[in-house]
Amino acid sequence: MQHTDTRPILSVQDLHVQFTLPAAKGQMPWARKRTLKAVNGVSFDLHAGETLGIVGESGCGKSTLARALTNLATISSGSVRWQGTELHGASAATWQALRRDVQMIFQDPLASLDPRMTIGEIIAEPLHIHEKALGAAAIAQRVQDMMQRVGLSPHLLNRYPHEFSGGQCQRVGIARALILRPKLVICDEPVSALDVSIQAQIVNLLLELQQEMGLALLFIAHDLAVVKHISTRIMVMYLGRVVELAHKQDLYASPQHPYTQALLSAIPIPDPVRERNKTITLLQGDLPSPISPPSGCVFRTRCPQAHARCAESVPALQAVLARTHSACHLHTTAETTPA
């Protein structure tokens, strides 16, 4: 889809989301409070009709980022501009108006639907809130049209969520998110709870709907294989920070950050010869605690290319190729002495 307006619809600059934690077991009540920096200086732009894939392991901050963009988590500092309007510190009325344009699809399709409501009521609810002038007949028609569009028979209107499979529940979640024809849909791991065969159907459905409606998507997943098909650009996060942000083709052809390289090396290649000959970079250990992240580069405790400077300073996200930004000291130093 071609877009003539070059201004982003969403612009995030140096976003921080942090939580103050209760004192740890055995800690004196007057001891310094612990802070969890879930999102730590994230910046990106998103244009109309574009899909930005956001990838990282559990605990990297991607879901907190999504929640901050929809006011489900409080922004600590930084700027989030939606079509030019600043959302950090915005009034409840501004956030309420935003909900018409920005919708969310959740990871657990069944848990995200109210079990006491019928499918028809769940899909219609946003219309009752945001399009109060619509009559009952118009609402019923909109709901039935949307059900058909997402592959659900309108005959299922009066059923309850527990009567549906995971894939069908996610179709209900998509119908509810799209009934207002929003401009942006934030998809928080929408397929990770589904069988692999159903995952492809849901991703293809989102792609079709995106093209029909000119939607922008933020598509969150924990592995690079899932976002490949749907994304225009991909942002890789690690421990609350962006480590690489690149156009999809460039990221898969020439990943620049050691973490992205490790994630990509773990994806199976359908060609048996290439799969046998490829080098897999195994990440050592677990993700460090975001309460006490490593000094310097947060990836350094697992990075196979870590060197002395990596413990001393945080690498800045910088342009390293025409369409790739990466945050790694290897881009700015010849020093490769292991730490």
Residues of this chain that bind ligand SF4 (CB under 6 A): 258, 297, 299-300, 303, 305-306, 310, 315, 328-330
Per-residue exposure over 3-24, b if at least 16 CB sit within 10 Å of its own CB, e if not? eeeeebbbbbeebbbbeeeeee
Q: HSE (CB half, 13 Å, CA atoms) of 270? A: 1
**Residue 75 Cβ, how far from ligand SF4 at the closest point, in Å?**
27
**Residue 330 Cβ, how far from ligand SF4 at the closest point, in Å?**
5
**Residue 298 Cβ, how far from ligand SF4 at the closest point, in Å?**
8
The smaller minimum CB distance to ligand SF4, of residues 163 and 312, is found at 312
Burial of 271 (0-12, 13-18, 19+ CB in 10 A): exposed
Closest CA to 98 of 210, 182, 197, 191: 182
10 Å Cβ neighbour count for 181? Answer: 13
Q: In whole angstroms, what is the distance from residue 24 CA to residue 291 CA? A: 11
**Residue 274 Cβ, how far from ligand SF4 at the closest point, in Å?**
26
DSSP code per residue over 92-129 = HHHHHHHHHHEEEE-SSTTTTS-TTS-HHHHHHHHHHH
Consecutive H or E run containing 81:
strand 77-82
The residues, ordered by sequence, that sit 6+ positions from 121 with a Cβ below 8 Å of its Cβ are none
**Residue 257 Cβ, how far from ligand SF4 at the closest point, in Å?**
6
**Residue 288 Cβ, how far from ligand SF4 at the closest point, in Å?**
12
The smaller minimum CB distance to ligand SF4, of residues 41 and 167, is found at 41
DSSP code per residue over 30-44 = TSPPEEEEEEEEEEE
The smaller minimum CB distance to ligand SF4, of residues 233 and 329, is found at 329
The smaller minimum CB distance to ligand SF4, of residues 114 and 286, is found at 286
Burial of 311 (0-12, 13-18, 19+ CB in 10 A): middle
The smaller minimum CB distance to ligand SF4, of residues 43 and 305, is found at 305
**Residue 182 Cβ, how far from ligand SF4 at the closest point, in Å?**
36
| Helices within the chain (DSSP H only) | 62-69, 92-101, 119-130, 136-149, 166-178, 196-213, 224-228, 248-253, 258-265, 272-277
The smaller minimum CB distance to ligand SF4, of residues 9 and 224, is found at 224
The smaller minimum CB distance to ligand SF4, of residues 216 and 320, is found at 320
The smaller minimum CB distance to ligand SF4, of residues 194 and 327, is found at 327
**Residue 95 Cβ, how far from ligand SF4 at the closest point, in Å?**
36
